[in-house]
Amino acid sequence: MTYRIGIRHGHPLIAWAMERSLSAIPAMHVSLLPETGPDDETGTAQVYDVLVTDHVPTAGTPPGARTLLMSPTHVAAPGVDEWLPDQLSPEDFVRAVVGAAGRVRPSPGDPQPTPLGQLSPREREVLDHIARGLTHAQTARRLGISRHTVDTHVKRIRSKCGAGNKADMVRLAMAAHG
């Protein structure tokens, strides 16, 4: 499953940095949006799973997006699903957007979107063992692979899912299993 992420920010350098951070995740298709007007050259508004913006949404906000407002102070406004402090680290920003994408409600008949969909079968096995509380060494013994290989799988899982630590990985695994 690919998540469609729209970024609309008043500062071009910040918008570019956010786009670069999210584009490193294979499951993210990221678009930089103009401040106002249509989202593409054809004059058509595009549909996004998550919109990250520094402005309170207006009528020009892409429909159906889970909206993350990035601002220095907490703002509760119509059309804002979540607030992000504007001083987030790049890792926390990526985790917040990945988390928001995981909370997007699918259309009827669509499979439930999950960042875990990008994992290989072996990476899913490793994640399941880690989520059950096994150490890297225990996971390696149970799967018949080296501890180094488990370490490599964990690094790939964290990268693909935007998980900053094992607790984030466990939360993703638990959410995937209901």
Report pLDDT digits (tens) over 142-171: 999 999 999 999 998 888 877 778 877 877
pLDDT tens-digit readout, 51-64: 999 988 766 555 66
Residue 115, CB half-sphere, CA atoms under 13 Å: how many?
33
pLDDT at 105: 57
3-102: CATH topology is Rossmann fold (3.40.50)
Query: 117-176, which class in CATH?
Result: mainly alpha
Residue ranges of the chain with pLDDT lower than 50? 38-44, 110, 112-113
Three-class DSSP category at 107: coil
Residue 160 token pair: 């693909």
58 to 19, 160, 162: CA distances (angstroms)? 22, 32, 29
Domain ranges of the chain: 3-102, 117-176
What is the CA angle 170-20-74, rounded to 5? Answer: 65
